[in-house]
Amino acid sequence: MADSKIVEIYTDGACKGNPGVGGWGALLRYAGREREIFGGEKLTTNNRMELLAAIRALESLKRPCKVHLHTDSQYVQKGISQWLDSWKVRNWRTSNRKPVKNEDLWRLLDSLVQQHEIEWCWVRGHSGHIDNERADQLANRGVEMITSEELQNS
Candidates 12, 23, 41, 79; catalytic one: 12
DSSP structural state of residue 81: I
Active-site residue flag, 17 = no
Q: Can you tell me whether residue 132 is helix, strand or coil?
A: helix
Candidates 34, 117, 126, 149; catalytic one: 126
Long-range contacts of 82-87 (CB under 8 A, 24+ apart): 84/110
Contact 121, 73 (CB under 8 A): no
Active-site residue flag, 136 = yes
Going edge to edge, which strands form the sheet with 33-44? 33-44, 20-30, 6-17, 66-71, 117-122
Candidates 13, 22, 40, 79; catalytic one: 13
Candidates 40, 72, 79, 142; catalytic one: 72
User: Strand 6-17 vs strand 33-44: parallel, antiparallel, or unpaired?
Assistant: unpaired
Candidates 23, 70, 136, 142; catalytic one: 136
Active-site residue flag, 13 = yes
Active-site residue flag, 68 = no
For residue 26, the cross-strand partners are 11, 37
Candidates 39, 50, 70, 142; catalytic one: 50
Active-site residue flag, 25 = no
Catalytic residue numbers read 12-13, 50, 72, 126, 136
